[in-house]
Amino acid sequence: MSKKYNSLIVVPMKNPNNSKSRLSDTLAPEARRRLAILLFRNTIDVLINSLKLSEKNFDIAVITNSDQISEIAKKKDILVIKDDTDPVLSRSITIASNWAKFNSYESMCVIPADLADPKIKDIISFISYPLPERGLVITPSIDLGTNALHVSPVNLIKFQYGKKSSLKHINSAKNVGVTPIMLPFDSLRFDVDTSSDLKELLAINPDLAERVKI
């Protein structure tokens, strides 16, 4: 998939063998790996279907250090940005931002790979929000992390993922004279990091336990 459009959706995805470490008390390593891949595949499929239905002009890219994830992305005709460092989310998104700037993208949207149950209507609403030439739109996670972020230009702010990162991103936007827009879409606020997140996910999708072999 070559560059087609002026806006880019980036999905950061580390090596699934190293994913979901916060679930180590709940899931065995192989189950965590399977869960990470299933969530990633679902997020990508929802994004692809959302773009088809919305007819919005975005390319999709995954930034990863995993050959397995790169192969999955290529089979789905998705761009791959290689991150050869030991992935740290803020640094990975900065690498993606630099790549997007080099490739002349006007805006960049970041969507997590581990959303529990993203809804097409919420994805469409988020990416369809009219972003100005200099603007930031954000959906915080339940614990005030950053679960969806859309910025223009692609290097508008310093990316600061981690605890309460949505507040950091909002303040960074204000510091460069941009009024941030918060869009609290329910299905974009819920990612899977903790045992309680997993329990809630299995309540939504009980068949997942068999697929992950929990």
Q: pLDDT digit string (tens) for 25-41?
A: 777 888 888 889 999 99
Q: What is the DSSP string of 104-127?
A: T-SEEEE--TTBSS--HHHHHHHH
Radius of gyration of the chain (CA): 16
pLDDT digits (tens, 9 = 90+) for 40-74: 999 999 999 999 999 889 999 999 999 999 999 99
pLDDT winner (highest mean) among 1-15, 29-43, 162-176, 183-197? 162-176
- 101: helix, coil or strand? helix
Strand partners for 57: none
Backbone angles phi, psi at 36, to 5 degrees: -60, -45
Residue from 154, 131, 190 nearest 10 by CA: 154
Rounded-to-integer distance, Cα 74 and Cα 25, Å: 33
β-strand 107-110 against 146-152: which pairing, if any?
A: antiparallel
In this prediction, residue 153 carries a pLDDT of 97
Examine the pLDDT at 213 and tell me if it is beyond 70. no
Burial class of 182 by CB neighbour count within 10 A (0 to 12, 13 to 18, 19+) = exposed
